[in-house]
Chain A
Amino acid sequence: MHDMLAENLRFVDLTLVGVLFLFFVGFVGGLVSGFIGSGGAFVLTPGMMSLGVPGPVAVASNMCHKFPKALVGAIKRYKYGQVDIKMGLIIGVSAEIGVQLGIQVQKFILEQWGQAGSNLYVSVAFVFVLVTVGSFVLKDAIATKRDGGEEKVTMLAKRLQAIELWPMMNFKGSGIRISFWFTAPVGLAAGLLAATIAVGGFAGVPGMIYIIGLSSLMASATELVVAFVMGLGGTMVWAFYGMVDIRLTLIILAGSLFGVQLGAIGTTYVKDYAIKFVMATIMLIVAVSRGLAMPKYLKQLDVLNWDGGLIDILSKVSFGLMCFALLVGAFIILKAMILGRRAERQLEMQGSAAARA
């Protein structure tokens, strides 16, 4: 199996532009991950693929950078009192099963349909998940802002918490008591998605908010623990098959460790629903971007017979949109952070002026 996969894969030659691109994407991806708990990967995986990196190597190299980045982010946000470690570990362990399932699916597709089939599968999964979850989260964020900005626990979460189904678990970090059987599916879905598109958080964070009943702030911080657990497990499997391109991993890590800590700092200046806004906005833009990249893979599989020039244009627009999504995410986070810091400083100055008077 290992030899066959290795024959199908090639490690790309890196240029200076490629290195700078990965560093920058790593930084912004880290910024987003530190803020919403996940999300760097949905830009990084296609970003690497656009440089010619095969899908599975992109997913593996991305996952290998994800778990140390998540660890650094989780430690930072734990200091701010935002992490439920027990919840993160339990969901993380159940997500491991999902990761293993996802890897088997990826391997099967690579063997059956080759590189183009694997890339197409990743793109289809991206578009489907990002559109579905992104629309729902955006709708909820708008409603929360309209209702005054205070988040409420969903009815579904309240009902599930009320069901006494052995084994019941108490989570001191978040003050929630819920059955293991309602946390496990959230982890399973997050793991399955993580192994496919390397962004488990787009199932994990909404799952923790809408099914388990955590606040956005706590769900996004706890997701970093989940990302660490399943990223470590997933990396061990990918590394066993020799799919990790350590150069890509280290370049991305160089940028993302700056980004993840800045994103974590940013969460201390915003209201909970801001996390949903950032998550949904980026998800929807990237969904359009990946949708435009699909004709290229369909043509490689001889399913589509479009003009080569048109497909080139679509690929370039797709890439441009992905960069746009990055910049929008970074802009929203940094703007919220700058405004929050400014407001806090003004309050401090008013306080000290009042004390002097």
Chain B
Amino acid sequence: MTTVQERRKKAKKDALLFGAVSCALYAGAFVYADAMVTMFAKGGMYTMLPIVTVFLFSYVHGNFAGSVWTALGIEASAKAGRKTDKADAAKRTDSRNRATVTA
């Protein structure tokens, strides 16, 4: 089971990694902004270019943003998680004893 500290530590690492890649992508996009705008405005054969671009940016920058919030301790209410756990627990019909480890 992941503790809050472990989760935040991983989020900090992810934020640094995805943040660096996101910065590089944005820097590249604005260095070549004029060329990109001209090419994407052609439409027709170039229709997929803006779509592929935003998918790439949203994956990298989306992971960065999510990791930043988690690293800052801004996370969903514990109730949101507990609801799902309860629903899953209710679905369990196997009444056999579960294996446990006693340390």
Which A positions have Cβ atoms within 8 angstroms of B? 2, 6, 11, 64-65, 67-69, 71-72, 76, 79-81, 232, 235-236, 239-247, 249-250, 253-254, 257-258, 261-262, 264-265, 268-269, 340-341, 344, 348
Contacts and interface: CB of A to CB of B under 8 A. Distances in A.
Contact of A2 (B43, B61, B78): B43
Contacts of B79: 268, 344
Given A69-B58, A253-B54, A262-B69, 18 more contacts: A68-B58, A71-B58, A72-B58, A72-B62, A81-B80, A81-B83, A81-B87, A232-B51, A239-B48, A240-B47, A245-B37, A246-B37, A249-B50, A250-B29, A253-B58, A258-B68, A261-B66, A344-B77
* Nearest 4 A/B pairs, CB to CB: A242-B43, A68-B58, A268-B77, A268-B80
B75 A242 contact: no
Given A81-B84, A258-B68, A268-B77, A239 B40 contact: yes
Contacts of A265: 69, 74-76
A18 B69 CA distance: 26
B17 interface: no
B40 A242 contact: yes
Contacts of A81: 80, 83-84, 87
A243 B44 CA distance: 11
A247 B43 contact: no
Interface of B: 26, 29-30, 33, 36-37, 40-44, 46-51, 53-55, 57-58, 61-62, 64-66, 68-69, 74-81, 83-84, 87
B41 A6 contact: yes
B42 A242 contact: yes
A11 B41 contact: yes
Nearest to A341: B77
A245 B49 CA distance: 12
Given A261-B65, A265-B69, A2 B44 contact: yes
A108 to B, nearest CB: 18
A324 to B, nearest CB: 25
B65 A258 contact: yes
A336 to B, nearest CB: 11
Q: Which of B26, B50, B58, B68 has the most chain A CB atoms inside 10 A of its CB?
A: B50
B1 to A, nearest CB: 17
Nearest to A69: B58
B50 A235 contact: yes
Contact of A11 (B37, B48, B50, B83): B37
A165 B87 CA distance: 31
A257 B62 contact: yes
A1 to B, nearest CB: 10
A240 B50 CA distance: 10
A74 to B, nearest CB: 11
Contact of A240 (B29, B44, B87): B44
Contact of B36 (A68, A246, A262, A340): A246
A243 B50 CA distance: 10
B90 to A, nearest CB: 13
Contacts of A239: 40, 43, 46-51
Contact of B37 (A68, A247, A254, A264): A247
A268 B65 CA distance: 18
28 contacts: A6-B41, A71-B58, A72-B58, A72-B66, A76-B66, A80-B76, A80-B81, A235-B51, A239-B40, A239-B46, A239-B51, A243-B41, A244-B40, A244-B41, A246-B36, A247-B29, A247-B37, A249-B54, A250-B29, A253-B58, A254-B61, A257-B64, A257-B65, A261-B65, A265-B74, A265-B76, A268-B77, A344-B78
